[in-house]
Amino acid sequence: MAERRVNVGWAEGLHARPASIFVRAATASGVPVTIAKADGSPVNAASMLAVLGLGAQGGDEIVLFSDADGAEVALDRLAKLVAEGLDELPETV
């Protein structure tokens, strides 16, 4: 299973707009991904309600997981998005 640990780069955490950006990116990756706070249970990264339910704040460590083909690239891209607090998924890592 591929895993990436990253700190949330959005000052407001994974709330509203940042969560929406993340969920769209996770869905667009075409790879099933789960996300969890470092000490929490994983949830579906493509679910807006699940991601909001994490309550991840800026600076919190989150963990991204996937065991699908293409997971390494997908998780690298999602980790970069979260860590840098980007407004959209980068085309390249």
Catalogue the active-site residues.
Answer: 15
d(CA 72, CA 74): 6
d(CA 41, CA 15): 18
Neighbours of 71 (CB within 10 A): 20
